[in-house]
Each structure stands twice: as structure tokens, then as C-alpha cells.
Structure 1
Amino acid sequence: MSNFSKLKPKKVLFIATRQIGDVLVTTPLISKARELWPNAEFHFLGYRGKLEMLHGNSNIAEVIETSDRPGFGEYLTLFNRLFQRYDLAIVTQPSDRAYLYGLVAAFRRVGVLGGHPQGKDAEDQGKRSKSEKQNAWKKFICMHTVDVDYFKQHVITEKLRLLEVFFKNRAELFTKPISVTPPTGEPLTPAIASELRQPYVVVHPGPLTAYKRWPLAHWQKLIDWLVEQGFQVVLSASPAKQDIQLNHDIISLLDDQSKKQVINAAGKLSIPQAGALIRGAALYIGVDTSITHLAAACNTPTITLFGATPPTNFGPWPNDFIGEQPFHLRDRTQTVGNVTILQGPGQCVPCRKAGCLDKADSYSECLDLLEPQQVIEAIQRVLSS
């Protein structure tokens, strides 16, 4: 670890150039930085269309958007805008581009470094050596770095550790309740608000990648059961074509009685509106995706289905948890605070691969074998408590 720093920056730039979930999990870091530097001005750099999770965040004075694939002209404009404007850049993603932005923006930097393979065979050792060489320049330009650990270290802990160089005692980072800050809610569209009735459950079946999907027939059984219990079901989804199609496919399997109790909100809500919807729900059920992290941040009872992803790294953070690690690596059912994580069977779970075929459009046997009854029993426990 680097030596303790007494730096008191006046302007700080947070950099998170990835997906909306990666932006949301920086909010505990931002809150802790505010405790450290109550008078500093905070700016945030991220990809255009991915920053709605910061809507209404009072700690952020300015949001800077960039394309995920900027051309030369956009790079030039952005570099001119950033050049040495900040006392400190906090690089929350290990990409070369994020570090380049940090290098341009500030004289001092802290950053996350890419993870190393866990195995011990020759191939993994080779990958480790290559990764270390790629990280060397990033370490050189930073006053402090934190290594990713995809199995043992939670992503919230990873981000918070970026500040440990500013604490004499590292443990101070984790002795108070830690919370994720959701975006400020916005009113629902009249079309959805007029249909909504209590009690309702929000169900979000669509992940970013196919290998995190749960089978259609399982969703059908679960929704039929929820309707039988007297719940209205709101099916949420992003505006992406595959997510809209997934909701359509699930609804097509339902009987007429269930269909009457289902609202299809696919592509109809902004992130702040989704937050407002989830806050009013009796329960949220979803796969391993960013909206599930939003649900947990909204303090709604959240049940999530995990396959390949280690919950110890990216499980939705239970608000006000004190400590560095809320979850076990492997546990068929675990509940911490308002979050319940369910995993399917298999000694390979979680593998952290892209499904059984290790590619984005793969299936995941662990999710295929996670029965609706396991989810129903988890719902009954959560609602009874």
C-alpha cells in the first residue's frame, strides 16, 4: 500500500467508462470521498447514455459524457476540456482509455488495476505475466492502485479501497454503514401509472448477455404463482430489442388470467422512473444485471438469480451493510439485509466464465437447473419476514 497522503483536493474527477451498473457501484466511493473532502468539487466522466444512475446525486457538480468509441475530434475536444483541471482523478475501471483520461485530467491519480487469472498452470501464469506488464505503466502514473479480485473482493470494497491511501487506518473505510445511492425518482408515465395497483412485484428477466438468462418456462411458472398469490406483476426491461422480445416471449406463455395481471413496461421507463417503480413494489425479482443493483439500492426486498458471476464480487450490495464482504462465494440461498441471492447447483458455480460454452450467447446449466420452486420458497421467506 502507498504511504498515507494528506492531499486535500479542491477538484476531483471520477472516471467510470463502462455500463450503468458500473456507474451505480461508484456511489459509495463518492459518498465516502465527500466525507473526506466536504468542500471539494466532484465531477464525473462516463459514457453517453450510461449516467442516469447519477440523476439527482447531490455530490456531483458536473457530469461529463463521452462516446464509447470517440473519433479524433471528440478526443481532442475532451482532452482540452479535461487538461489538468483536477487535483485528483479517481479511475474506477482498469481500461487503458480510463487511465489515459485520468492522466490528462489530473496531476495525481488513484486507480483500479485489471485482475489476474487465478489458476496455476503455465497458460494462466503466462496471462498473469502479460497482465502485470500491461499494468506497469498504470502503477507508475498512480499514487495508489487496487487490484481487482473477481472471486474474493466485492466491487464496492474495490472502489472504496481507492481511498485507503487517504486514511491512516484502512479499517476506517468499513466501520460505518455503506450504502449505494440510487438516482432520484421521477413520476411514472401516465399509461403505466394508471394500470398500476398494489400490491405489485417488479420482475426483470433480461440481462445484458444471454448466459445470465433464466429459462422462459421458469419465468412463466413463477409469474403464474405470483398472480395466484394476488400480486400484479410488472415486467421491466431495457429498450434493447432482445429484452423487449424476451418479455414478449414470456407473456406469450402465460394463461389469459395471468396476462390480465401483467404490465409490460419494456422500454417505457427511464432509469429514474424505474427506481420510482421499484420503490413502490412489494418485491423485486431479477437476474444478474444493473437494475437488480438499483432495486437493492432502493431498499426494496430484492431476489436475484446468479449463475456464473461470483456474488462475492458483484452481488447487489445490501444497504447499510458494515464491512467488506456481505456474501459467500457459493450458497444456494443467502440473504443479507434486503438482498437474497439464489444460485443453481453444481461444483463449478460460480465459474466466472461466459456460461458453459464461455461465450456471450451461451447457456448456463446452473441457471437452467435453478428451479422455480427455489425462487418461490425464497419469496415466501422474504415476505414472511
Structure 2
Amino acid sequence: MTAFSILKPKKVLFIATRQIGDVLVTTPLISKARELWPDAEFHFLGYRGKLDMLKGNPDIAQTIETSDRPRLGEYLSLFFRLFQRYDLAVVTQPSDRAYIYGLVAAHQRVGVLGGHPQGFSQQDKAKSSKSDKQNAWKKAICLHTVDVDYFAQHVITEKLRLLGAFYRNPQDLFSKPISVTAPAGDPITPSIAAQLLSPYIVVHPGPLTAYKRWPLSYWQTLLTWIVQQGYQVVLSASPAKQDLQLNHDILSLLDEETRKNAIDTTGLLTIPQAGTLIRGAVAYVGVDTSITHLAAACNTPTIALFGPTPPTNFGPWPNGFIGDQPYQLRAHTQTVGNVTILQGPGECVPCRKAGCEDRASSKSECLDQLEPIQVIEALQSATNK
């Protein structure tokens, strides 16, 4: 058990060198740290183009961007800028690079330790043992660490436990409502705003990887039903080529009447603009991706389609939840607060693999078997239709 620390830092650096969703889930940690240290100055280090989730966050005085693959000159410039300028570094990702940044930047550190999910095979045990050895130096440079649990521990709980060393009773971290802070909204692009008709439902079909995709024909069925209920459909997506193609393919399947009542905003909105769009929606439907976490943070009724990913680890956090675990590991449908998580059938669900073939381009049978009627029923409940 970590000893209680009386450290009262004046400057704190939060480090999240990953994707935009990983930045968003640090915001409850930042809010809780502000309660602990009301007069401290907070800075945030992350990858260039990934920090829009912090726009307007009242607790962050400065953001520092770095490339995901910096050259030597950028490394040296960053190290000079960071060197021992902070009292505490909060390392929210288990990568070696994030820990090196924390070591350079601060006098003290707390950090998340990665590892291989525990299993019973000799291969799993060997990988777990290797992770322990790789983590030894990280433990040595930290006053407190938190182990990842890919099935039982929610990622927001994991981040909050980084502050456990500063509480005499660490469970006090979870005794009050916990919320994710969405970025401040920006006005929607006028050409899109002019097409919006209330009420509308935002639909985000595109995940980062193929194994989190829901079948095209299912989207066709869902969007047709939404329009038949009198709603406008607003399709959302990132500017990534595969997302542009996915939304194009979905729209190509729609009949003329449904297509007339669908707006495609693919790649046309920034994260803050997407937040504004989602706040105005009657509901949101999306796959396991960062924008689904944003929708939940905007307090919009959120329907999340989950396949291999355990909701107990990375389900969108229901704002205002009190406790350290909102979700069950496996449930056909579960609603907590404004979030409904849907899972397909199968004893293997959730497996936490990259689809059935454990590779990014794989399909996931659990999503193929998550029928449109399950999503429609969840939307009916969310919209009282």
C-alpha cells in the first residue's frame, strides 16, 4: 500500500500521449486534482492535434503539444522546455516515452503501469512476467503507481486512483459525483447549421479500427427507422479516409426519402463544433470510439455499440455517477444515467481482442449479431418514442 503523501505541488504536469479519447478521460482526474490543490498551476502535455478535448477547460493553464514521432531536435527542445519545471508529473499512459517526459519534467511522479491481461495459458503468464520486468524502473521513479486492469477497472477509475497517495482514505475519491468535462463548444459551420432541423439524432458509425464496425445494412435499417419517426439524421465522422468511405457507403444504401432527411458532416467539424452539434441532439448513436465518450460528456442520451471492448474498462462514463464502476462486464443492454451500452451475444463477449481474428482489419461476430432492433429499442427508450 502506498504511503500517504503530504506533497502540495505548485505546478503539475498531466501527460497523455495518445488519442483524443485518452485525453478526454483525464478530465475527472484534473477536476479532482483541482479540489486537492486549488492554488496549483496545471499544464497538459499531449500529441499535436489531440488536445481539442481540453478546449476551454478551466483547470488547465497551458497545453504543450509534441509530435507522436518527434525527431531529435524536437525532443531536445521539449526536454529543455520541461526540465524540472514541475513539482509533480501525472503520467496517465503506461508508455516508456510518457514516463521519460515525466522524469525530465518533474521532481515527483505518479503513473499508470501497463501490463498484459492476466490469463491461464503459459503464453499469457510469460507476457505478464515480461510486463512486470518492464515496469520495474517506472515503479522506482514514482511515489505512487496504478496497475491497469483491462476487464474489471474502468479507465476513469484508473486515472483517479493516481491521486490515491494524496488521500488518507483513497476510496474518498469515489464518494462524490464524478463527471467528464466536455470541451467548450464552437459555432457550427454555417453551411451545416443552415441544414439542421430539430429534432435530430447524431449518428457516428466510424471507429478507428475495422473490428469495431457495425454492418452496413444495419445502419441502413436504423437510419430508415429514425427518419420514419420524424427525426433528421446527422451523420458524423472524422476526416480519415476510411470514415469518409464508410459514411458514403451508408448513404448510398438509403432510399430517396431517408437520404433527403440525412445530413453528412463527415470531416467538416472540429471537436468543439462536434460537441455543439451533439448538445443540440435528441440522442446520439455511435460505436466504441472517442466521439461516443464526447456525447456522454455532453449529457446527451448516448447509445454505444460495444463489441470486443469491455464496458467495465472503457464504457462512456455516465456523468454524475458516484462510485468506481458504472457497468457490468456483460449485459445485452445496460443503462446508467444518460448512457446505454449494447453488446452482442456470445460467451466470449467481451474478449478484448482485435476482433475474432485478433487483428485490426478483422470482423467481430458479436457486432454482426447485435441486431438493429436492439438499437431501435434503446433509442425508443431514450427518446420516449
Q: TM-score, normalised by structure 1?
A: 0.99
Partner of 1:326: 326
Confirm or deny that 1:117 pairs with 2:121: no
Confirm or deny that 1:242 pairs with 2:253: no
Partner of 1:222: 222
Partner of 1:339: 339
Runs of 4 or more consecutive aligned structure 1 residues displaced over 6 Å after TM superposition: none
Distance 2:344 2:350 in 1: 9
Partner of 2:209: 209
Give the aligned residue type for 2:142.
C
- Please identify, of 320-329 and 121-130, the stretch whose mean Cα deviation from structure 2 is larger: 121-130
Distance 1:365 1:116 in 2: 24
Alpha-carbon shift at residue 195 of structure 1 (Å): 0.3
Q: Helix, strand or coil for the counterpart of 1:60? A: coil
Give the aligned residue type for 2:363.
Y
Partner of 1:148: 148
Distance 2:173 2:312 in 1: 18
Partner of 2:354: 354
CA deviation map 1:246-299 (0-9, x unaligned): 000000000000000000000000000000000000000000000000000000
Alpha-carbon shift at residue 2 of structure 1 (Å): 1.2
Alpha-carbon shift at residue 384 of structure 1 (Å): 1.9
Partner of 1:163: 163
Q: How does 1:65-214 map to 2 (within 5 A)?
A: 65-214=65-214
Partner of 1:7: 7
Q: Helix, strand or coil for the counterpart of 1:195? A: coil
Alpha-carbon shift at residue 171 of structure 1 (Å): 1.3
Q: Helix, strand or coil for the counterpart of 2:345? A: coil
Partner of 2:276: 276
Give the aligned residue type for 2:52.
E
Alpha-carbon shift at residue 133 of structure 1 (Å): 0.2
Q: Helix, strand or coil for the counterpart of 1:224? A: helix
Partner of 2:317: 317
Partner of 2:303: 303
Distance 2:247 2:334 in 1: 27
* 8 Å contact kept, 2:117–2:149: no
Distance 1:147 1:382 in 2: 35
Partner of 1:29: 29
Give the aligned residue type for 1:328.
Q
Alpha-carbon shift at residue 146 of structure 1 (Å): 0.1
Alpha-carbon shift at residue 7 of structure 1 (Å): 0.3
Q: Helix, strand or coil for the counterpart of 2:194? A: helix
Give the aligned residue type for 1:352.
R
Partner of 1:377: 377
Alpha-carbon shift at residue 330 of structure 1 (Å): 0.2
Alpha-carbon shift at residue 115 of structure 1 (Å): 2.5
Alpha-carbon shift at residue 10 of structure 1 (Å): 0.2
How many residues matched? Answer: 385
CA deviation map 1:293-329 (0-9, x unaligned): 0000000000010000000000000000000000000
Alpha-carbon shift at residue 117 of structure 1 (Å): 2.5
CA deviation map 1:142-179 (0-9, x unaligned): 00000000100000000000000000001110000000
Distance 2:121 2:93 in 1: 27
Distance 2:105 2:33 in 1: 18
Q: Helix, strand or coil for the counterpart of 1:38? A: coil
Structure 2: any 5+ residue segments left out of the alignment?
none
CA deviation map 1:205-242 (0-9, x unaligned): 00000000000000000000000000000000001111
Structure 1: any 5+ residue segments left out of the alignment?
none
% identical aligned pairs: 76
Q: Helix, strand or coil for the counterpart of 1:180? A: coil
